[in-house]
Each structure stands twice: as structure tokens, then as C-alpha cells.
Structure 1
């Protein structure tokens, strides 16, 4: 089940507070399903609170699963959702996504 967090404040502490007040109760009330929580892209200062929130929720709702992704690329969101829905062993992860991909694999010539 895909859950979009929506716009949060730019400041990391304010964003964490808004998430815990506005979004967390909604996530806790969700039916038993694999949840993929979609955060909008944000600066590095947001990664720790997002990761901690998703990890704590994963422990709370186990054996049901929740993962978080940060992305605004719809194709990347759909691909991540398709993978996470079927990856039974993956839970409590926060994955910032780049819809451009990793790029070419570079290797040295032998």
C-alpha cells in the first residue's frame, strides 16, 4: 500500500514534528498490509529522523512491513513499490531514490 506523506516543513525538526503529529497516526491505523511510505525529496538533515521513524514503525507493526522512500519520480516510485510489495524480508528501510539510475558501470581494463 502506497502512502504519500505530502509536503512537510523545510526545517528537519519541524518536518519530523509535523510527520509525527499528522502522518504517524494515519500509518498506525492502516490495515495489515505492506506499506511503502513516500516522502518528498529533502536535504541530508532529514534522513536520520525519517530512518528512525520508519525503523520504529517497523518494530511496532511487525510482522507487517513498512518501508520509506524519498522520491518525486513517479516511475522510480512505482518500481520501488513493485519491488517492496513482494520483498517479504525487507522492512524498516529508508531509501532515497534517484530516478536517473546509478549510471554506467565503470571498470578498469585488464
Structure 2
């Protein structure tokens, strides 16, 4: 499972969604098109970004099925590592936005 740490996004949710599309989406799609069968995106934790992040990861999961993509919001550390370990062993989980 490949992990991409998403950083440098603005604090404002609308601006962050735009910045993700502009700066991260192409990289994520290249990874999925390049044969990676499972991907986890890890942006910083912030509950105000939940809706656009959920829509983004669900849309990517539909577009690139059967590849799996999930997003885990958190500041790294053990909680994100444990979630990644769980997702790596759970082949039926995709398109989910989880907060640690």
C-alpha cells in the first residue's frame, strides 16, 4: 500500500479543495494508473474539511475500481500507521474517509 502525505493545503476548506485538485490530484491519478492497487492519502486532521475529502476519495474509488483508495486524516504517528496496517489487510474497504 502506497502512502501519500498530503500537505501544504490552506486552512479554508474551499481553498483546500481547490489546491488539492490543482496540486495533488494528478499525482494521485498517476499512482493509480501506474499499477498501484492500494493507496492511502494522509492529509492533516481537520474536521471542517470532511465533506470535500469524502467526496474526493469516494469519486476516486469509483473511477479507479478495483484499485483501492482511502483517506486517513491525521498528523501521522501511531494512529495513522495502525489504520494503514488495518486497511492493507482489508481488501474490501475503499473510498472511505477516516479520521484518527
TM (norm. structure 2) is 0.91
Deviation sequence 1:27-80 (CA, Å, 0-9, x none): 0000322001001011x3210000000000000110000000100141111111
Structure 2 gap segments, 5+ residues each? none
1:74 aligns with 2:77: yes
| RMSD of equivalent CA atoms | 0.9
Deviation sequence 1:2-40 (CA, Å, 0-9, x none): 111112100000000000111110000003220010010
Partner of 1:91: 94
1:56 aligns with 2:59: yes
1:37 aligns with 2:38: no
Runs of 4+ residues deviating >2 angstroms: none
Q: Return the alpha-carbon distance in structure 1 between the equivalents of residues 8 and 78 of structure 2.
A: 20
Indicate the structure (1 or 2) with the bigger Cα radius of gyration. Answer: 1
Partner of 1:10: 11
TM (norm. structure 1) is 0.83
Could you say which structure has the higher helix fraction? 2
